[in-house]
Amino acid sequence: MKPSTIAFAMLPIVTNAYKGDMTHYTPGLGSCGYNDAPSGGRDVVALSREMMNNGPNPNLNSKCGSKITIYNPSTKKRHTATIVDTCWGCKKEDIDVNVELFYKVAPKGDGRVHGIMWNGKKVGGGKLPGAQQLVVQGGVGQLEDMDDDVLMGGEVDTEEEPSRLAEEENCERERT
């Protein structure tokens, strides 16, 4: 019998994600070769030169275009950004993001926010605090960590959520 996922809960879990300062900048033509002018509309991030580890042609960096998930422990919210640039003034685990993303992550930020956590498939960084799922099988519930890859997309798709819940209710009725 396939386990049913019936609930999501935000619970603290052990983490080892990257942790550093977050600042903001005005993107343009970045080291990845993308031109993300302020009117570009997507959330972008520049990683430290130590994290980017660019070769002779930074446009060919495998990190370019990949996503990271940013987590603010103060607000307990996650946001996703695309790696497009190198931050030459950042310490190893610091990140530099576009202004719009900065204020989504830290609405009360003043230009630099300490203790921002982040990770990404191509850059590593371990688990972020947060989501676990309750999986019920044979009437027994067990909390399991959600894979950060599942959470990389940012917010939950609210269009899909009602149908998922209806499916679970039908499964529960069939069992009784």
**Of residues 36 and 176, which shows the higher confidence score?**
36
Local structure of residue 3 (DSSP, 8 states): P
| Amino acid 156: pLDDT | 32
pLDDT confidence of residue 136: 65
Number of other CB atoms surrounding residue 158 within 10 Å: 7
CA distance 170 to 27: 48
Res 146 pLDDT > 60: no
Task: For residue 174, count CB atoms less than 10 angstroms from its CB and return exposed for 0-12, middle for 13-18, buried for 19 or more.
Answer: exposed
At 160 the pLDDT is 33
Q: What residue spans of the chain are helical by DSSP H? A: 49-52, 99-105, 148-151, 161-175
- The pLDDT score that the predictor gives to residue 90 is 97
pLDDT at position 116 is 95
More confident residue, 4 or 137: 137
